[in-house]
Amino acid sequence: MSVAAKNYKLPADFLWGFATAAYQVEGGAQEGGRGPSIWDTFSHTPGKTHNGDTGDVAVDQFHLYKEDVQLLKSYGVKAYRISLSWSRIIPLGGRNDPVNPEGIQYYNNLINELLANGIAPFVTLYHWDLPQGLEDRYKGLLNTEEFALDFENYARVVFGAFGDRVKHWLTFNEPVVVATLGFSIGVFAPGRSSDRSRCQEGDSSTEPWRVGHSILIAHGKAYKVYKEEFKPTQKGVCGITLNGDWPEPYTQTPEDIEAAQRKNEFAISWYADPVYLSGDYPASMRQQLGDRLPYFTKEETALMKGSSDFYGMNHYTANYIKHRKTPAPLDDFIGNVDMTFTSTEGVDLGPECESFWLRPCAWGFRKLLNWIYKRYGYPIYVTENGCSIKGEQNLPVEEAVNDDFRVKYFQDYLDAMLLAIHEDGVVVKGYLGWSFLDNFEWAEGYATRFGVTHVDYKTLVRTPKKSAYAVKKWFEEHIEA
């Protein structure tokens, strides 16, 4: 820790804790009236996930939520970020479909348990698990009008059911991942791509941009519902959470500097510019994509602009970015750049993790906090940040809990955040580490662990790791009494 970071403090109301998502931890897939989601379908399709792993049981928070809340309490957290399973609340998903009272009751129980233990629920409406009923009915996110209307209805149901107690809302989690991994590469649900060796259906040149457009319109409608119908009495805040890595120029040539900026605009500004800035897409995207990128009507632009009370930020890593001299292929979604972890001097950004895309690089976090705050000017909640450890899944529990690699990651990143706040003037109001529990890591199944709590996937026994208490200690030392 730097001397400066050691002496800086966060305000007493700084919101910190850990995060999870429904399909990754909940389980109870066929219990309590829940309907299937696209991730149930995808994970049960042979060859789509590591080892054929599914979220049928996951880590069974559906049954073990009281135990989990007590564990969170022992970690000293002020907040716990969860997501709601849309198909647990409205099993078929649509605006004319019945609401499931058992689903409402489950989340009431979880929210009440958190509040009874002094933990604020930070709730995401959509963390990738679209009801399969809507995928079957009208191709889900590819049908902007229908999807937006059904999401608006779902949001209204949820705000009405839980908003008297939930004061922090997120509409969507990482829409860029939904659009690109689900509809360009095809490695996430619903698994669409132009690559016929991987997917039977899909058009990588157009579908990601249509899906992104659907998400933005749906977000705007949900935010409007909250602002006009619920916020005046419930007094909460509502936003969206976007992910982004720091793009460091490979060289200081104008071409690489511009390429790094373009990478940020494709990854972040695709969604952030319409919501926080202009109500429209970045010029760099329009220049590359032309009419493949949808257009907003004047009414939609007005709906988008200012449709968030804060900036939700998911961040894990950094890359060196090189300008690509050849024209962008039709399936490109990163701004026609090349990415590497290795500098011109042959030095890696950071050590390898289990996740191939992740290298610890805390200075990149500080730079991205600055870039986001300078461009958009909204207070930031860091809604995900964490790392996997290479080979951790092969360790016995007594070794896995000594996760010094993760301890260092969190300490370095938290120090970087503190310096961004105090030395750079960035406004950060909360931090939620990923993840509270080892869990179902989407296509990677149970082979990759991000948790500060070890989970034995056979017995579901939870064991705290060193990192859980290291994060607790860091916040105890840095939050004003």
Length of the chain: 481
207 catalytic residue (yes or no) = no
Cα dihedral 122, 125, 315, 428, rounded to 10, equals -40
In this structure, the strands spanning 311-314 and 246-249 are unpaired
480 catalytic residue (yes or no) = no
Element (H, E) at 318: strand 318-323
Count of alpha carbons within 13 Å of 286, Cβ hemisphere only?
Answer: 8
Structure tokens at 98: 């019945």
- The catalytic residue among 26, 152, 174, 392 is 174
3-state SS, one letter per residue, for 160-204: HHHCCCCCEEEEEECHHHHHHHHHCCCCCCCCCCCCCCCCCCCCC
Element (H, E) at 339: strand 337-340
CB 39 within 8 A of CB 23: yes
Structure tokens at 312: 């939700």
SS3 420: helix
DSSP label at residue 137: H
Whose tokens are 């997120």? That residue is: 170
* Nearest residue to 11 via CA among 464, 421, 438, 458: 421
Structure tokens at 325: 């001299």
Structure tokens at 24: 């990754």
- The catalytic residue among 384, 392, 441, 444 is 384
Instruction: Give the span between the Cα atoms of 323 and 139, in whole angstroms.
Output: 36
* Nearest residue to 42 via CA among 208, 199, 242: 199
202, 205, 207, 263, 283 from 295: Cα distances, Å: 21, 16, 14, 21, 12
Count of alpha carbons within 13 Å of 317, Cβ hemisphere only?
Answer: 20
Whose tokens are 């959470």? That residue is: 241
CB 201 within 8 A of CB 139: no
Radius of gyration, CA atoms only, the chain:
21
Instruction: Give the span between the Cα atoms of 98 and 257, in whole angstroms.
Output: 52
Residues forming the active site: 174, 384
